[in-house]
Structure 1
Amino acid sequence: MNKLVSIMLVGASLTAQAQSTKEIMYVGTYSLRGSEGIYVYEFDRKAGSMKPIQSVANAKSPSFLALHSSGHYLYSANEAAAKTENGISAYAIDRATGKLSFLNGQPSLGTGSCHVSIDQTGKTAFVSNYGGGNLAVLPIKADGTLAPATDSVQDTGSGPNAKRQEKAHVHSSTLAPDNRFLYVADLGTDKLNIFDIDVKASKVKPASTPYATVKPGSGPRHFTFHPNGKYAYLVEELISSVAVFSRNAKTGALTLLEDNVKTLPANFTSENTSADIHIDPSGKFLYQSNRGHNSLAIFAIGNDGKLTKVGDQSTEGKTPRNFLIDPKGEFVFVANQDSDNITIFKRDQKTGKLTYTGQSVNVPAPVCVIMASR
């Protein structure tokens, strides 16, 4: 075989591998209106469509999902589980098909387990318990199974919103890009608690600057980092706004740059609560979901990290919860909880604006959608 033929065969093999790459999507749901639990799809990028592959039985509202860094495992926070039940479940992922098989579960030491995150080494899971107002820390074994919790933090306090802030409500835990700090949003106390993490021991301790605060009554919910790691953005659920922070990479401390950046049009006066937040891969645009207005607010991100409103996009559904910007930045998928559908949008990477593709997938009470490549 001559050198040219050899090169051509290698090139053809690499092309075939690239073409055979599967993009698998996992959808977490509430156990409502006939939902079976977790749904698995294959995304056809050329057609912009989702093909159903599997449904996995879980009757405890596996609402929020997280992938292991290896791509071999998936974890669900089971929001309807009792304190003594498996508030978090582990699943193995079939590398060829993307299908899931149950591994095990562990109690999450609280109720209303609404969020799970996995550290970048894949050794520790962090579970946010909205009902219990606490954070649970669980080791992950080499085979992807969960060990019993090795640490927990009980938050205390309240806020001015008597209906929603009567006590602590831990809503999410987000790892810093350097995997050294964990940021825990408490909707009930209007705080972002900051922890140093020991992923080998699966332990946490308050950072040297242990928390950041926002305006009373804001209701911290979800949190995300800019790709450059210098800036971070917080959903203020109860007042439908965004808070913008700069971050000290050495200490993990946050400095508030902008607070109460409004996500709703000025002429919208009906009830609304904000939910999820994401930044596109280029770091140029930020999106936040609004339940009530049923839209995604779109912002341009300046060089200083601050936000400028670009527009609003209807989600073509009711009560948008989490949404996904695909890793290439080409598509956005929105989980519309109360209209039982996931809607698909094409994204203009220059303007940040979205166009509905007309593609909608029926899923009972979808909450969370994530993607992995096979």
Structure 2
Amino acid sequence: MNKLLVGILVSAGLTAQAQSGKEIMYVGTYSLRGSEGIYVFEFDRKAGTMQPIQSVSNAKSPSFLAIHPSGKYLYSVNEAADKLGGVSSYSIDKATGKLQFINGQSSLGGSPCYISIDKTGQTAFVANYGGGSMAVLPINANGSLHAPSDSVQDVGSGPNAKRQESPHVHSATVAPDNRFVYAADLSTDKLNIFETDVKKSTVKPASTPFVSVKPGSGPRHFTFHPNGKYAYLVEELTSSVAIFSRNAKTGRLTILEDNINTLPSGFTGQNTSADIHIDPAGKFLYQSNRGANTLAIFAIGTNGRLTKVGDQPTEGKTPRNFLIDPKGDFVFIAHQDSDNITIFKRDQQTGKLTYTGQSVKVPAPVCVIMASH
């Protein structure tokens, strides 16, 4: 068979592969216990298994990840970079899901721990936990990151002397309408609200510039209901969740209920809450608890209020981030301290989870996300 024909056949095979709806998963890690950096898997939906494809070398703790809306690029914060922080960009091979490093930039603050991309793919928002700031980086047409064009330094502290001694911005979440970004500060017990200009990659305080929650609660991760009317905040230090209604015009948040306990009844040990997600249908909310090693499961009412459904043991130690797959059938839970990702089947009617027995070894996994190809 001549080389040209072989090339055509290989190319056709890759095209078919790209059209076959491959589901690729990316796992960010801390650079501990032999972790190589970012791990790439293919998810086999029928078998419910994750097959390793690639590991991408990055020794700076590429902990939190985000995928560009085009599906062509992936971004990581580099939490162990120097005091000016670091962010990296990678191209995604559409046929295989494999990553190729493009470039890196400073995040202008220590210990960057969260990155989000606006829905037009022109701007990245980075939360610097150690630096207590949010950086805004333009994204070039080729997916590479430009140097930061804007940043906001937070100030203040909270009543928890160990954890709230100085600002710790823990997330920067883009609103569904792409007009606002919400930055949770664990130390000041505030969600700061910014209007965004994604073309210029700049931000300014919204007309209502923040909402405060109970002192000492420690805002961490934030998510919106699919209907855009309600939003939910992890309160890390009090292992609780807060519910807000949202004014779509101004971005303003109004607390409906604060400090809702997410721990199993009778649990008395040490715990900090971490991640929060809502299923695609908007019926159930899940929050991870490190210490109790559970996912709290709540049903969401038509008024946005929560009713506890149960607590799912996560089959690992220190469940940090987790992923509800885009079809709502599976949940993947990343365990920072037991070096594994566990896979659960999800009942779309009850919201409850069933462990599949599948546990995938990954050193110090922090973040797990999925892209369809």
In 1, Cα distance between equivalents of 2:267 and 2:259: 16
Structure 1 length-normalised TM: 0.95
Are 2:317 and 2:335, in contact at CA under 8 Å, matched by a contact in 1? yes
Q: Which residue of 2 aligns with 1:29?
A: 29
Q: Which residue of 2 aligns with 1:78?
A: 78
Q: Which residue of 1 aligns with 2:50?
A: 50
Q: Which amino acid aligns with 1:236?
A: E
**Cα deviation 1:238-295 (Å, max 9, x = unaligned):** 0000000000000000000010110002200000000000000000000000000001
5 Å-filtered alignment, 1:215-364, equals 215-364=214-363
Percent identity (aligned): 79
- Give the SS at the match of 1:63: coil
Which stretches in structure 1 are left out of the alignment for 5+ residues? 1-15
Are 1:28 and 1:369, in contact at CA under 8 Å, matched by a contact in 2? yes
Are 2:17 and 2:95, in contact at CA under 8 Å, matched by a contact in 1? no
Q: How big is the shift at 1:21?
A: 1.3
How many residue pairs get matched?
358
In 1, Cα distance between equivalents of 2:34 and 2:17: 38
Q: How big is the shift at 1:18?
A: 9.6
In 2, Cα distance between equivalents of 1:282 and 1:328: 9
Q: How big is the shift at 1:298?
A: 0.1
In 1, Cα distance between equivalents of 2:19 and 2:205: 46
Q: Which residue of 1 aligns with 2:12?
A: none
Q: CA RMSD for the aligned pairs?
A: 1.0
Q: Which residue of 2 aligns with 1:146?
A: 145
Q: Which residue of 1 aligns with 2:184?
A: 185
Q: For structure 1, which segment, 260-269 or 66-75, has the greater mean C-alpha deviation from structure 2 after superposition?
A: 260-269
Q: How big is the shift at 1:20?
A: 1.7
Are 1:83 and 1:107, in contact at CA under 8 Å, matched by a contact in 2? no
In 2, Cα distance between equivalents of 1:173 and 1:187: 12
Q: Which amino acid aligns with 1:44?
A: D
Distance 1:245 1:19, change over 3 A: same
In 2, Cα distance between equivalents of 1:335 and 1:282: 23
In 1, Cα distance between equivalents of 2:322 and 2:17: 28
Q: Which amino acid aligns with 1:26?
A: Y
Q: Which amino acid aligns with 1:303?
A: T
In 2, Cα distance between equivalents of 1:19 and 1:46: 17
In 1, Cα distance between equivalents of 2:349 and 2:219: 30
Detail structure 1 runs of 4+ shifted over 2 Å in the superposition: 16-19
**Cα deviation 1:5-56 (Å, max 9, x = unaligned):** xxxxxxxxxxx88982100000000000000000000000000000000000
Are 2:18 and 2:94, in contact at CA under 8 Å, matched by a contact in 1? no
Q: Which amino acid aligns with 2:267?
A: F
Are 2:18 and 2:96, in contact at CA under 8 Å, matched by a contact in 1? no
Q: How big is the shift at 1:102?
A: 0.1
**Cα deviation 1:56-93 (Å, max 9, x = unaligned):** 000000000000000000000111111346x1000000
In 1, Cα distance between equivalents of 2:256 and 2:18: 42
Q: Which amino acid aligns with 1:55?
A: S
Q: Which amino acid aligns with 1:41?
A: F
Are 1:115 and 1:171, in contact at CA under 8 Å, matched by a contact in 2? yes
